[in-house]
Structure 1
Amino acid sequence: MEEKKLRMQEKPASTREIFCLSGPLHLTAVDWNNFHHRRSVAASLVQGVYILERDRQQNRQGPQAHAPPWWDFFNFQLIHQLVDDVDSSIFGAIYKFNSFAFNYNHSAQSAPNYVIAFRGTINKSDSMSRDLKLDLLSIRNKLHESSRFQLAMQAVQRIVAVAGTSSIWLAGHSLGSAISLLAGKNVTKMGYGIETYLFNPPFFSVPLGIIKNEKLKHGIRFTNSIVKAGIAVAVKGCHQRRQQDDPFVLLSAWKPNMFVNPADPICSGYIGYFKHRKKMEEIGAGKIERIATQNSVRSLLSGSLKSDSEPLHLLPSAYLTINLSQSPDFKRAHGIHQWWDPSFVGQIELHEYR
């Protein structure tokens, strides 16, 4: 056993795990009113969760640990680790901002008091099996049934009770983004709204992005909207909720920050999702789309009309940031490092459900 630990300690860390080699060192003074700075900090804190778990797997402790710089650099302290009850892996972290740090500046009044961050899937044997099972639950729209999500939701509720939502950020990447999105939805339905940063959030729907013909894609989406709206009216009929009681309408005031890369098939569906909604409004079919966008054919036909069984990607409003830089491969397109790159070029769009 001791021999195994020594071998693990001897294994060199990836340069992408070491802050001084791949972190946003250009942010020596964070302007908390600058959206690009906020994005970079949120992504770095999520990376801190990834490295916490890698430190655990590699038995890196004390001075050998690589995770602390990912939050120390921005004057945060780690106050709690979220540990999965199935495989004991670290999947989340709660950070507290140190407002009395030596380089405190006037913009720090806009900094969050707490950040709750969640990592995505780690492709290593120690945690991969559990992570992949949760990925499958997400695809089946059953992430809310997992113990990992329940632990995450409990942590969010505890911090909300202490700090209130105006001073909390939620942040996640990939699977962690799905957890953050679901937690954010739940808190919003309770009457609160938390500033949320979703990096490469999974979009589980038909991958129309592989179709190059724009007219064909629009035709398929238009037909899909007509079918969904028709089924929704037929299935729900008189059981439609009043607008003020409709969970989808209640969610519309919440505008999470979503960060997607067109070259990443896991999250790129959001680009078409919001683009289609805008197109439907422009051609005068907004009412049809407003009904369609709240439903999925699968949930309608299966009779799963409960709000907690709604597909995760059904979202009323969001600030959508699209990375316009070229990504050489899927690993870069889905990776979290792109979101603090100082040469980042992106396009920000506000989509609101009216």
Structure 2
Amino acid sequence: MICERDDFSLTGPLHLTSIDWFASSSLNLQLLFCRANEHHRRSVAASLVQGIYVAERDRQLQRDGPEAALSPLWSEFFHFRLIRKLVDDADFSIFGGIYEYKPPQPPSHTIKSGELSPRYVIAFRGTVTKADSISRDIELDIHIIRNGLHTTTRFELAIQAVRNMVASVGASNVWLAGHSLGASMALLTGKTVARTGVFPECFAFNPPFLSAPIERIKDKRIKHGIRIAGSVITAGLALAKKATQQHSSQNHLALPAPVDPFAALSDWFPRLYVNPGDHLCSEYIGYFDHRKKMEEMGVGFVERLATQHSLGGLLVDIVSGGKNTEGPVHLVPSSVLTVNSNPSRDFKEAHGIHQWWREDQRFDTKVYRYK
């Protein structure tokens, strides 16, 4: 029996028969990132990620060939073709894929200067709760909690694919997209290449944010007070860590101050899509809003330090003896944050990827730039 969510003809964005890739040339960031065709771009990116989910379920259910496989329509409807599957070396599951955009064009067609269609999209799925893949996926989920996703072979396969594609066609022609666990993979690969000065578009749907669920507290004063206390504690621990590192190296030859790796990413604006009813990602709402409030209170310097760290990450670093050099995946300096303001019936709906191409949802988008 075919699962309804796998069937594009039943649950896909059939209303998008024509995709508007055009982007405003406005220099205003808010206008640029919140243009009218955002729904089209978001829907296509989410559909391609869903295509990877379905490709893995096709594999597990042995739905082979053009007659049985359900995954191709999730990309071919938008003129994308899956040219390479990214296969995990541990369980041989399909965790990602590279799509190539091949639109039908008359011979005289020329690309308009404002068109921002990607040439390639590298998409990553999230956790699949089936016997053939769940143990490996949960292992990766645990690595996210421990700030160790960068040490996994799945990440090595992913970053190799991203680096090769960016080197081949340029970052402006490549999109990264992922959902849940896959969103973390998209963010981590994006951050890795962004540190070299190239900034691929990144669409992260329901990206995990590892934190206490403060956003679920209804009383705004209590919530704000907890966040302030958390910022002070986090900033204090970060300063203590920095002082310890400076003390341990005081006998070495003085070197120029290193470039702040967090600030170096400030010109990269990954697109984060979160739902307040999804406790795995909803803390992004408070993370960026609190930073703005701290600036308004005149203590932005505290938050600028705290926002680079997480309490959990600092504790993991202490336990590991400072061996973990990769910061938490979920912390990014700048972003285009889109919140689905429609109430969700339950966590499953709030965390699902299908919401991101539905027409009946209300999306609020804000641009946050790290200063």
Structure-1-length-normalised TM-score: 0.92
**1:32 to 2:21 alignment:** yes
Equivalences for residues 127-146 of structure 1 within 5 A: 127-146=133-152
Whole-angstrom CA distance in 2 between matches of 1:243 and 1:348: 36
Equivalent position amino acid for 2:95 in 1 = F
Output one character per residue of 1:3-33: Cα deviation in whole Å (capped at 9) or x when no partner: xxxxxxxxx1111111111100000000012
Q: 1:51 to 1:164 in 2, by over 3 A?
A: same
| Paired amino acid for 1:252 | S
Q: Contact 2:342–2:362 (CA<8 Å) still a contact in 1? A: yes
How far has the Cα of 1:161 moved from its partner?
A: 1.3
Counterpart-to-counterpart distance in 2, 1:26 and 1:239:
58
Q: What is the letter of the counterpart of residue 248 of structure 1?
A: F
1:338/1:344 contact within 8 Å kept: yes
Task: Find the counterpart in structure 2 of residue 56 from structure 1.
Answer: 59
Per-residue CA deviation, residues 266-318 of structure 1 (Å, 9 max, x unaligned), is 11010111111111011111111101111223444534667843112221000
Match of 1:173 among 169, 175, 179: 179
Work out which of the residue numbers 205, 216, 221 in structure 2 matches 1:215. Answer: 221
Where 1:20 maps in the other structure, the secondary structure is: helix
Structure 2: any 5+ residue segments left out of the alignment? 23-36, 248-254
Q: Is the 8 A contact 1:24 1:40 kept in 2?
A: yes
Distance 2:85 2:225 in 1: 47
The equivalent of 2:88 in structure 1 is 84
How far apart, CA to CA, are the structure 1 residues paired with 2:224 and 2:261? Answer: 28
In 2, Cα distance between the equivalents of 1:297 and 1:32? Answer: 40
Q: Pick the aligned partner of 1:258 from 240, 250, 272.
A: 272
Q: 1: distance between equivalents of 2:282 and 2:325?
A: 24
Structure 1 pair 234/202, CA: closer, same or farther in 2 (3 Å)? same
Alpha carbons 2:175, 2:202 under 8 Å: kept: yes
Residue 9 (structure 1) aligns with: none
- For residues 42 and 115 of structure 1, the distance between their equivalents in structure 2, rounded to whole angstroms, comes to 8
**2:313–2:327 CA contact under 8 A, matched in 1:** yes
Aligned to 1:148: 154
Report the CA distance between 1:243 and its aligned residue: 7.8
User: Superposition pairs for residues 314-329 of structure 1, below 5 Å?
Assistant: 314-329=331-346
**Whole-angstrom CA distance in 2 between matches of 1:235 and 1:144:** 22
CA–CA distance in structure 1, aligned partners of residues 356 and 179 of structure 2: 11
Give the aligned residue type for 1:120: G
Structure 1 partner of 2:367: 350
Tell me how far 1:189 sits from its aligned partner. 0.7
Contact 1:247/1:307 (8 A) holds in 2: no
Q: Secondary structure at the match of 1:50?
A: helix
Question: In 1, distance between residues paired with 2:369 and 2:347?
Answer: 30
Contact kept in structure 2, 1:83 and 1:91, CA below 8 Å: yes
Alignment partner, residue 326 of structure 2: 309
Q: Contact 2:215/2:285 (CA < 8 Å) preserved in 1?
A: no
Rounded Cα–Cα distance in structure 2 between residues aligned with 1:15 and 1:341:
16
Do residues 119 (structure 1) and 125 (structure 2) align? yes
Alignment partners' CA distance in 2, 1:306 and 1:164: 33
Unpaired segments ≥5 residues, structure 1: 1-11
CA–CA distance in structure 1, aligned partners of residues 141 and 93 of structure 2: 15
Secondary structure of the corresponding residue to residue 185 of structure 1: helix
CA spacing shift, 1:209–1:80, aligned 2, 3 Å: same
Change (3 A) 1:272 1:242: farther
Identical-pair percentage: 52
CA offset at residue 239 of structure 1?
4.1
Corresponding position: 1:289 with 2:303: yes
Match for 1:273 among 272, 281, 287?
287
Q: Does 1:41 align with 2:44?
A: yes
| Aligned-pair Cα RMSD in Å | 2.1
Tell me the residue number matched to 1:66.
70
Between the aligned partners of 1:70 and 1:227, the Cα distance in structure 2 is: 46
Deviates further, 102-111 or 128-137: 102-111
Count of matched residue positions in the alignment of Structure 1 and Structure 2: 343
Structure 2 contact 309–327 (Cα < 8 Å) conserved: yes
